[in-house]
Structure 1
Amino acid sequence: MKPSPADPEAWNAYLAEGNAMQARKRVSADVLLRDEEGRVLLVKPTYKPGWDLPGGMAEANEAPDDAARRELKEEFGLDVTLHGLLVVDWVPPHGPWDDQLAFIFDGGTLTARQTVEIRPHDRELLRLRLCPRPKPHQRTRPAGDPRGHRRSAVAVRAGRIRGRRTALGELLRPDQAHRGHRHRARAARGRGCRRAVDRRGAAR
């Protein structure tokens, strides 16, 4: 017999059973950070190939924006004020991983001093780099996530317009993605990334 809200203890136990049966989503929270020249901060993790936006996975029952701030504090020792959500996307299952929700937040602009002094504090990061835009060979989340590069590219475009929010539908429009690829290629030509810096501050 289905319990009634008139019996709070039985009702909450009934709801808890339903909650336990529902799917759980993994959540990633990344941050778009720029320097004063507009270059985008990328990091090279030790645990996977390629480059990525700074950030990471949310803990159980942790809000995505809290996860983003926590990750930047752990990775760089930075206390970042987030300026809004740029992109939210669904990542399909791949390899041993279940699906996930991916958030990218606007972290604003690093000060000149922060740009000079920023170093990886986390052993999960090998080095960092400031680039005009993420390039094809720096594809974010490369293993099994073909949308990762488009997701970061849309975040870069959205971040150029203060207050803009980017819907999932824009990520799914092939014409937008195709034009974005040509634009990224033109923007990358003739403008190199700042040399990568490791945890010790050595350029590579």
Structure 2
Amino acid sequence: MSAEPEDFEVQLRAADGVGVLEWSGRASQQTVDRAVSLAADDALIVRGLRRVEVSLPADDRMGRRALQRAGFRLEGRRREALELPDGTLSDVVLYARLASDLVYGPGGFTGVMNSVLPRKRLIAHALITDPWDRVCLLETTFKDDWELPGGIVNPSESPWSGAVREIDEELSLDLSVGRVLVIDWLAPYLGWEDAVELIFDGGVLSQQQIDAIVPDPGEIRAVHWLAPDKAAEKMAPFARGRMLAAVACRLGGGTQYLERGLPRRD
């Protein structure tokens, strides 16, 4: 039985150093791979464009595979941007390849995979107490529940460095944190995607250190020192669970893994 004839064409529109690839027709994966790769090489190497981009339906697996094999990076997603013939809506994904991108070899492969594989948000907080074992809680300007000092870790920043930076930004406190007390997986919540949180041991502050705290007025409404049970009453349920676990780990040793602020039950 003979294979179906292939009728696949790639077109390039270019302006101001940027090219846009579009294609039509049907073909095998091998043919699509080759056509997209040759078109991208022609645009960036022969024609001297600095960038080539492609928009396509998110469920176009063949097209996405061809782009990734040709060294294109995933740059974004337009939600429900395309109405399909049956009336359903599809997301549209944007891929691009720059003339300066590394395409071939291990570095090219990992660069592409880095753009398409999932990424998780990472949060670093610290358990900081005073000489009377009261927990430092921050009342912020942007939410009702109170939280431990710390925040979201920046790209290419280590969790330890993120915790130290956030404490400095929030409290003007130059503080080195210690070991990890708690690792917690945060489920999706209020529009946030899931994340991983680490709670470091921020140690016991002296009265002199406490007196030197200057809260960031843009983010911190007040700094509170509360016994762990009283602190828990001011926190969201999942946040209080990991705070109490952190207190227990400081006292008893070890590091505890949680999910949604609770010990995992297998």
Shared topology, TM-score over 0.5?
A: yes
RMSD of equivalent CA atoms: 2.3
Deviation at 1:116, TM superposition (A): 2.9
> In the alignment, is the contact (CA less than 8 A) between 1:43 and 1:125 conserved in 2?
yes
**Structure 1 125/57 Cα, relative in aligned 2: closer, same or farther at 3 Å?**
same
> In the alignment, is the contact (CA less than 8 A) between 1:119 and 1:128 conserved in 2?
no
Structure 1 unaligned blocks of 5 or more? 175-204
Aligned partners of 1:134, 1:77: CA distance in 2, in Å?
Answer: 27
Aligned partners of 2:258, 2:171: CA distance in 1, in Å?
Answer: 29
SS in 2 for 1:159: helix
Which residue identity lines up with residue 221 of structure 2 in the other structure?
Answer: L
SS in 2 for 1:59: coil
Corresponding residue of 1:171: 262
Corresponding residue of 2:115: 20
**Structure 1 173/60 Cα, relative in aligned 2: closer, same or farther at 3 Å?**
closer
If the length of structure 2 is used for normalisation, what is the TM-score? 0.57
Where do residues 1-204 of structure 1 align in structure 2 (5 Å cutoff)?
10-11=104-105, 12-135=107-230, 136-139=232-235, 142=236, 146-161=237-252, 163-168=253-258, 171-172=262-263
Which residue identity lines up with residue 79 of structure 1 in the other structure?
Answer: D
> In the alignment, is the contact (CA less than 8 A) between 1:30 and 1:56 conserved in 2?
yes
What do residues 112-139 of structure 1 show as CA deviations (whole Å, max 9, x unaligned)? Answer: 2112332313410100111111534311
**Structure 1 77/61 Cα, relative in aligned 2: closer, same or farther at 3 Å?**
same
> In the alignment, is the contact (CA less than 8 A) between 1:40 and 1:134 conserved in 2?
no
> In the alignment, is the contact (CA less than 8 A) between 2:173 and 2:212 conserved in 1?
no
> In the alignment, is the contact (CA less than 8 A) between 2:183 and 2:255 conserved in 1?
no
> In the alignment, is the contact (CA less than 8 A) between 1:87 and 1:104 conserved in 2?
yes
Which residue identity lines up with residue 166 of structure 1 in the other structure?
Answer: Q
Corresponding residue of 1:178: none
Which residue identity lines up with residue 123 of structure 2 in the other structure?
Answer: S
Aligned partners of 1:134, 1:64: CA distance in 2, in Å?
Answer: 27
Aligned partners of 1:173, 1:64: CA distance in 2, in Å?
Answer: 23
Q: Bigger shift: 24-33 or 127-136?
A: 127-136
> In the alignment, is the contact (CA less than 8 A) between 1:76 and 1:122 conserved in 2?
no
Identity across the alignment (%): 32
**Structure 1 122/22 Cα, relative in aligned 2: closer, same or farther at 3 Å?**
farther
SS in 2 for 1:168: strand
Deviation at 1:81, TM superposition (A): 1.7
Task: Decide which structure has the larger Cα Rg and report it.
Answer: 2
If the length of structure 1 is used for normalisation, what is the TM-score? 0.73
Corresponding residue of 1:192: none
Aligned partners of 1:28, 1:166: CA distance in 2, in Å?
Answer: 16
Structure 1 runs (4+) greater than 2 angstroms displaced: 115-119, 134-137, 167-174
Aligned partners of 1:13, 1:172: CA distance in 2, in Å?
Answer: 40
Q: Which has the higher contact order (CA 8 A, sep 6+)?
A: 1
Deviation at 1:13, TM superposition (A): 1.1
> In the alignment, is the contact (CA less than 8 A) between 1:29 and 1:57 conserved in 2?
yes
